[in-house]
Amino acid sequence: MAKKMIQKIEVQALSQILQKFAEEKVSRRFAYSAVKNRMRMQEELGAIQEVMKPLTEFDVKRLEICKECAKKDETGTPIMIDGKYAGLDGNDEFKIKFSALKDEFDPIVEEVNRILQEKVEIDFYEVDLEDLPDKMTLAEVELLMPLIKDPE
C-alpha cells in the first residue's frame, strides 16, 4: 500500500479505467487490486459526483435549447443528422440562448474545474507491473501509474 497525492479528476479517470477492466479477464492479483482501489476511492468519487451535479443541469438546459431551436419535421419533432440537431449552425436564436446559458453556468464550470484540479491523498493498494493486463494502451498504463509498484 502506498499513499499518493493525485488530482480529483485523475481519481475519476482511474475509476473509469478500472471499471473498463472489470469487463475483461485479468489476473487475480490485478482484479483484487482493482476492487480494493475502487473501494478506497469510493468516498472521493461520491464527492466528485456531487460537485458535478450542476453540469448535468447545464446539459439538460443545453439540450432543451437545442431541441427548441433545431429544424423541425412536419410533426414538429426536431430533426437529427448524425446524432446532432439540424439547423443550429448560423441560428441567431440558438446563439443568443446558448450564450446566455453559458454566461449563467461559466462561474459554476470554473468552480467545478478548480475543484477537480485539487489533489487528494489516497492509500492505494499497489500491483506489480507483471500483473497488469497484457494488452493495454499507453494512456491506460499512464492512468494506472498510481497503482503500480515501483520496480526499483
Secondary structure of 21-71 as H, E, C letters: HCCCCCCHHHHHHHHHHHHHHHHHHHHHHHHHHHHHHHHHHHHHHHHHHCC
Q: What is the pLDDT of residues 84-136, one digit of tens each?
A: 999 999 999 999 999 999 999 999 999 999 999 999 999 999 999 999 988 88
* 21 band by pLDDT with thresholds 50, 70 and 90: confident
Tell me, what's the pLDDT at 6? Answer: 94
Percent of the chain with pLDDT strictly greater than 90: 86
pLDDT higher than 80, residue 72: yes
Tell me, what's the pLDDT at 99? Answer: 97
Tell me, what's the pLDDT at 37? Answer: 94
pLDDT higher than 90, residue 24: no
| Average pLDDT for 66-90 | 94
Three-state helix/strand/coil letters over 76-118: CCECEECCEECCCCCCHHHHHHHHHHHHHHHHHHHHHHHHHHC
**Domain segments of the chain as ranges:** 2-147
Please name the helix (run of DSSP H) or strand (run of DSSP E) that holds residue 132, with its range, or none. none
- What whole-number distance in Å separates Cα of residue 117 and Cα of residue 113? 6
Contacts of 113 by beta carbon, 8 Å cutoff, 6+ apart: none
Tell me, what's the pLDDT at 1? Answer: 73
